[in-house]
Amino acid sequence: MRKPVTIFLHVIFCSAMLLAAPHESHHEKKDFKSASTAALQKLIKSQHHVSKFLRNSALRQYYQAQGYRPFWFDENGIKSIAVELINVVQKDPVLGPASGKLFGLRDLIVTIGTVQSAPEFNITKAMQTDLKITGIYDEYMKRVASGSIDWNAFQRKLEALEEEKKILASWDRYGAYKNRRKLLYKALKNNHIYSAVNAVNYTYPMAKELEKALQRYEQIAQEGGYIRLPEFQKLSQGDRDSAVILLRERLLQSGELNTTECYRLDRNASQCLEYFDADVTAAVKAFQRNHGLIVDGVVGPNTRKHLNITVEEKIAMIRLNLERMRWLPRTLGKRYVLVNIADYTLYMIDDGNVSLEMPIVVGEKRHPTPVFSNKMSSVVLNPYWRVPQSIVKRELVPKLVKDPYALVAQGMRMHADWNESSPDYDFATIDWSIMNVNGVFIREHKFYPP
């Protein structure tokens, strides 16, 4: 419970501490300019690597174009844009608490505080820090632009899945490949680091929704996390069980239930809360709908399993999905189709608004739907589909036994083979009950939509 509060206070304290101005005797603008330029040139020319993220040659490219002027310090000490960058990195929704260790922020903050409060302004120490912050900026911008994953290692893992388990998975990465140096120069001119970060970060409305959900889950984590349900076979409307009290509280935590109160006048308060009423059923259905489960209002093993996913696991999943959004193109145009594979849903986006939403079929485990982005020149409605024989046998033939014309309304046609020009047959001329028994249909006849 203390850690998030400590981090929040730490950020505020750092901002105040870092912006504390050094002594007036250090503020001679002319002396600072010449001394800082000389110090930067000397440090970059040295064999010592000042930044753990950038080689000195890369740092030279950053500073040489700007006349070896410091980016993050001026004659008044540390600049507000440097503090802004540190806070942005600390609060990054994808990296989370790991950002502090990854970028060495604690040591950096201590160093800046030492430089700011020293009796004598150490120009060399200040410029070393300036170079370190530039390295942090460059590394952070790379991660925001294209993600933090080791892409080559990820591709090797996909290849191993194909070789060992015959799972054919495909995932493309796009990212935002912009000149980080030019973005920094522009941000420094505007004294606003967000202009650089926003230029490469994801822009999808769904990402912002995930960030809001992340904040909500982090708040729940601070309050102790989700209530865990005990083991039970199943619960449904009309049941009375002490576990329903916990179920109410759990659904209240995630927002599917507005209150844990109940209003059965024929029961006392305790018995009422144990009763699985219509409000609980509606809340369970909402939870199932939100998690891509069968929406039946019954809390069976699978629904209970999802209810018992910890808030920490949900936070990790959100961070992972935000990371994946950094692999995607930054703009898809005014009109585009977006597929939520996990939710089996397709969205047509028109000028930022959802103009069409429909359920879809996605790939199975061994042949998952590939993740990619590309331009579409045309869309085919009601394409030809060779119905798999397993579906023909399990689903279509039983319908035809009851009604030979059941598929005509769907535009289905039956052919002698896969060739569309092959002879077709009238559904009513076939005894489907015989076909269903001996399986002749499976070998001889095929379906085509129009």
Mean pLDDT, the chain, integer: 86
Q: What percentage of the chain carries pLDDT values higher than 70?
A: 87
Nearest residue to 195 via CA among 109, 305, 276, 81: 81
Q: What would the pLDDT profile of 294-318 be if each residue is shown by its tens digit?
A: 999 999 999 999 999 999 999 999 9
Whether pLDDT at 43 is above 60: yes
292: pLDDT confidence band, cut at 50, 70 and 90? Answer: confident
Give CA–CA dist 89/111, Å, rounded. 17
Per-residue pLDDT, 278: 93
CA–centroid distance for 3 within its chain: 24
CATH topology of domain 243-309: Muramoyl-pentapeptide Carboxypeptidase; domain 1 (1.10.101)
Residues 160-188: what's their mean pLDDT? 91
CA atoms within 13 A on the CB side of 24: 0
Instruction: Give the CA diameter of the chain.
Output: 102
Residue type at 42 in one-letter notation: K
Residue 153 and residue 134: Cα distance in Å, rounded?
27
What is the Cα–Cα distance from 325 to 345, expressed in whole angstroms?
A: 17
How far, in Å, CA of 446 to CA of 156, rounded?
40
Task: Note the pTM of the prediction, 2 decimals.
Answer: 0.78
The rounded Cα 403 to chain-centroid distance in angstroms is 47
Q: Residue ranges per domain, the chain?
A: 2-201, 243-309, 332-364, 389-448
